[in-house]
Structure 1
Amino acid sequence: MTRLVFICGHAGTGKTSLAKRLIGPLGRATGEAFCLLDKDTLYGRYSSAAMGALTHDPNDRDSPLYLKHLRDPEYQGLIDTARENLELGVSVIVVGPLSREIRDRRLFDRAWLNIGPKVALSVVWVQTAEDTAHRRIIGRGNPNDAYKLAHWDEYRQRRFVPSGTQLEGLIVFDSTAPDESDYDALLQRIVQAATTP
């Protein structure tokens, strides 16, 4: 069995740190090989070159131009790469905001993902308070956050907390101050994910 695990959430919630913490224990708990696909690692250099050429700001990841022309192809490429690994028998942890896809329930749509019923699917939404995320973003000093920080009021309008039907099947993880039992509970929920009957 292969597994596809999405680790999603807004900037500053600790998605990448969580994925790196989980990948070893997941491999040991399931006996399966996992690869980590982080959107920023896969597309960061490409996006810098493209946005530098288009807007002279290689660190822009949040302007209307980026969101209109680069966001969706990057995410689709991320999912295509995950699918190729799954087809080779390698389980995958995918890291990226994917907030629009959470809102629209696309990450639960196997036809949209183009994955078969034998892939165990888990979707984790990592969240923390806005002020905590803001503080973390400032603290990490990543140049790619410059546009976001300069336009925070605009960016914060895109932040949302899943509710209603968006929560169905979604694993919500609060990254504000988790302890070992929180990490263990998350790991167990992912390990227990079933394939489609």
Structure 2
Amino acid sequence: MSLLVFFCGHAGTGKTTLAKMLLGPLMKASGSPFCLLDKDTLYGRYSAAAMGLLTGDPNDRDSPLFLQHLREPEYRGLIDTARDNLELGVSALIVGPLSREVRERRLFDHAWLGVAPDVQLRVVWVQTSDEVARQRIVARADPNDAYKLAHWDDYRQRRFVPGGASRKGLLWFDNTAPAPADYETLVARIVAQ
């Protein structure tokens, strides 16, 4: 069974930490090798160089310029890389906010993703409160978060929280203070057929 699993949610929710923690248990439970594709790891240096040239701020990841011109190519590159791995029999975990794609239900669309119909799609929405997310962002002291923190009220207002039809099929995970059983339950839900 090939799986394409998305760990989505806003900054500070712990998407990457959660994906890394569950990689081994997912491989064991599914019997499939996995690759981890984190947006910041794959495109962070490239985007820093591009934004440095365009705006003089290599740490900008949230301005309208970034969102309009670099966001989409980064996400398409993640999906293209996942597709290459899936074609080789390697399941993939993609980590990124992907809120627009969740809202528009694109992550459940095999044709939009360009993956075979037999690939199992799972979308995990990782969430915490705004306060916890902000504390985590401040604590990690990543320069890429400077714009978010400087414009926190605007950033917070545009954060999408799935509801109604956009929530259908999401594996909701509250990452505020999960217990070991919560991780086990999430792994079981991801690999369930």
AA aligned to 1:67 is: L
| Structure 2 residues without counterparts, runs of 5 or longer | none
Equivalent position of 1:124 in the other structure: 124
Equivalent position of 1:63 in the other structure: 63
Structure 1 residue 121: deviation in Å?
A: 1.0
Partners of 2:12 and 2:172 in 1: how far apart? 15
Equivalent position of 2:35 in the other structure: 35
- Structure 2 matches for 1:134-173, cutoff 5 A? 134-173=134-173
Partners of 2:107 and 2:53 in 1: how far apart? 32
- With the length of structure 2 as denominator, give the TM-score of the two structures: 0.98
Q: Which runs of 4+ in 1 moved over 4 A?
A: none
Secondary structure, aligned partner of 2:43: helix
Structure 1 residue 160: deviation in Å?
A: 2.2
Q: Does 1:96 find its partner at 2:96?
A: yes
- With the length of structure 1 as denominator, give the TM-score of the two structures: 0.96
Aligned-CA RMSD value: 0.7
1:142-181 CA distance string (max 9 Å, x none): 0100111111111112212211011111100000010011
Equivalent position of 1:44 in the other structure: 44
Equivalent position of 2:186 in the other structure: 186
Partners of 1:147 and 1:184 in 2: how far apart? 35
- Percent identical among aligned pairs is 69
Structure 1 residue 115: deviation in Å?
A: 1.1
Equivalent position of 2:174 in the other structure: 174
Secondary structure, aligned partner of 2:53: helix
Secondary structure, aligned partner of 2:158: coil
Equivalent position of 1:12 in the other structure: 12
Structure 1 residue 117: deviation in Å?
A: 1.5
AA aligned to 2:85 is: N
